[in-house]
């Protein structure tokens, strides 16, 4: 009989081997380690998962595509960026995951995001596999024409690897509705097909879904609300700190306000704003979505209730709820200690892996309800899958229907994570619950389909 100690020894050896075979990819190592360290009780209880190299296959992408992206700026200079698409696991359905355009993008980051996406997508229960892609291209400061030329060049290679039954990209950091439009236009131009289901995050007027831009932020708030309900509380009247000021952060603020909470902060790379009256979401949208300005401009225009803190840490602001919504590893152990000292009750990750492992463990030891990204920010990909369903049926659902579906999915994810954690002897541990629940769904499908 396989014991937990036997399983842990095997998983530790596998982690060492994965790090050896994937050098200089710390984010990927971190994501794999976080999952593997929770799986020992699963392997002890279900030894069939250990036999056919299943975990080894799960940690190795099915396909990794890297390509050159040449494009011309408005002055006629030619630039060369690098494009990526990592198709990680398709046991549950076509690969599904966003495209990120940011200077920090490299293969290790795309692999970490793709690996996380496998479990996140499994938790939705919507029949989608996991993948991720992007480029080290920086869209900031570029004209619409430059963005268009880059997207067209990027899609000229990517189109041969995607399709509604194969791989369905969406947006992520640096890729919003504008970029999805240019990418879709080039795909249509090259293939001569109106294949609406090949990309999600499209405009509502041409195949997109209502609530898609809002979905990730809304979903993380809904997950936070479910964690609080489990403890006999609700969001109304609670204060919240939110990091970031992009799509996820904006709609996190919007949903907090709708549910009666008071979001106090938002941030960008220059610093953060704290607004004692609560963030004015309409002004935030104007500054960041329309004018593409800096967060300091919000404080300048908001008045006496708001102040800008250059270069500061948003986690310095006392609040009941924390929602990291910017980027990976933005909330470290020192930040977690500050939040705990200030009485934080719940943390829900709106971004992908924004909390370092040390900070996660500190929250758990302090009894803070912690919702990991693969559960808490699954709302975006859930509505992407609903967009795919609408595309397949050539129909469009009302915003009310989509939001109702999203609420149902997020509550189901919370219940699944909570019950799975209980089943494996880790009550209240949403990290363990999310990892094991996602793993079991993917692993069962992989076992059923043979060694491929």
The alpha carbon of 235 is separated from its chain's Cα centroid by a whole number of angstroms, namely: 22
Catalytic residue (one of 96, 120, 132, 288) = 132
Q: Which element (helix H / strand E) includes 215?
A: helix 215-230
What region does 227 belong to: left with phi over 0, alpha with psi -120 to 50, or beta?
Answer: alpha
Q: Is 448 exposed, middle or buried (0-12, 13-18, 19+ CB in 10 A)?
A: exposed
Relative to beta strand 271-275, strand 265-268 is antiparallel
CB atoms within 10 A of CB 341: 10
As given in the structure block, the two tokens for residue 31 are 């994501």
Relative to beta strand 167-170, strand 95-101 is parallel
**Dist. CA 325–CA 143, nearest whole Å:** 26
202 is a catalytic site residue: no
Q: Rg (Cα) of the chain, in Å, rounded?
A: 21
118 neighbors 39 (Cβ within 8 angstroms): no
Nearest Cα residue to 153 out of 120, 114, 182, 193: 182
Nearest Cα residue to 247 out of 179, 171, 182, 300: 171
**Dist. CA 170–CA 186, nearest whole Å:** 15
CB atoms within 10 A of CB 72: 14
Helix (H, G, I), strand (E, B) or coil at 15: helix
**Dist. CA 431–CA 427, nearest whole Å:** 11
Contacts of 431 (CB under 8 A, 6+ apart): 34, 38, 360, 364, 370, 372
Active site residues: 132
């Amino acid at each position: 009989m396989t014991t937990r100690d036997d399983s842990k020894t095997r998983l530790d050896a596998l982690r060492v081997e994965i790090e050896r075979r994937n050098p200089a990819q710390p984010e990927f190592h971190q994501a794999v380690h976080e999952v593997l360290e929770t799986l020992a009780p699963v392997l002890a209880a279900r030894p069939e998962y250990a036999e056919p190299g299943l975990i080894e296959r799960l940690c190795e992408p099915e396909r990794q595509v890297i390509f050159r992206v040449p494009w011309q700026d408005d002055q006629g200079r030619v630039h060369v960026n690098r494009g990526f698409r990592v198709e990680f696991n398709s046991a549950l359905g076509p690969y599904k995951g966003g495209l990120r355009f940011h200077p920090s993008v490299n293969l290790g980051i795309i692999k970490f995001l793709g690996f996380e996406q496998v479990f996140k997508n499994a938790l939705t229960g919507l029949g989608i596999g996991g993948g991720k892609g992007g480029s080290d291209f920086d869209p900031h400061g570029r004209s619409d024409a430059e963005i268009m030329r880059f997207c067209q060049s990027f899609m000229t290679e990517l189109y041969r690897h995607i399709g509604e039954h194969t791989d369905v990209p969406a947006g992520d950091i640096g890729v919003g509705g504008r970029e999805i439009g240019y990418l879709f236009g080039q795909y249509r131009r090259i293939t001569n097909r109106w294949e609406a289901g090949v990309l999600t995050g499209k405009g509502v007027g041409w195949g997109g879904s209502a609530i898609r831009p809002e979905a990730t932020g809304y979903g993380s708030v809904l997950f936070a609300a479910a964690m609080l309900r489990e403890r006999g509380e609700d969001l109304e009247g609670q204060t919240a700190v939110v990091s970031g000021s992009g799509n996820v952060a904006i709609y996190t603020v919007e949903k907090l306000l709708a549910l009666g909470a008071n979001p106090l902060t938002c941030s960008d790379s220059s610093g953060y704003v704290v607004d004692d009256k609560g963030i004015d979401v309409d002004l935030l949208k104007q500054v960041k979505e329309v004018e593409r300005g800096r967060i300091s401009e919000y404080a300048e225009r908001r008045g006496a209730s708001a102040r800008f803190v250059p270069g500061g840490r948003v986690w310095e602001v006392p609040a009941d709820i924390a929602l990291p919504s910017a980027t990976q590893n933005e909330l470290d152990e020192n930040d977690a200690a500050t939040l705990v000292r200030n009485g934080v009750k719940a943390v829900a990750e709106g971004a992908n892996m924004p909390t370092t492992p040390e900070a996660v463990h500190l929250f758990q030891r302090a009894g803070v309800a912690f919702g990991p990204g693969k559960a808490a920010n699954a709302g975006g990909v859930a509505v992407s899958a609903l967009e795919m369903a609408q595309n397949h049926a050539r129909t469009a659902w009302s915003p009310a229907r989509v939001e109702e579906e999203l609420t149902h999915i997020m509550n189901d994810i919370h219940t699944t994570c909570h019950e799975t954690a209980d089943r494996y002897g880790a009550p209240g541990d949403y990290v363990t619950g999310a990892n094991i629940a996602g793993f079991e769904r993917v692993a069962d499908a992989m076992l059923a389909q043979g060694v491929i």
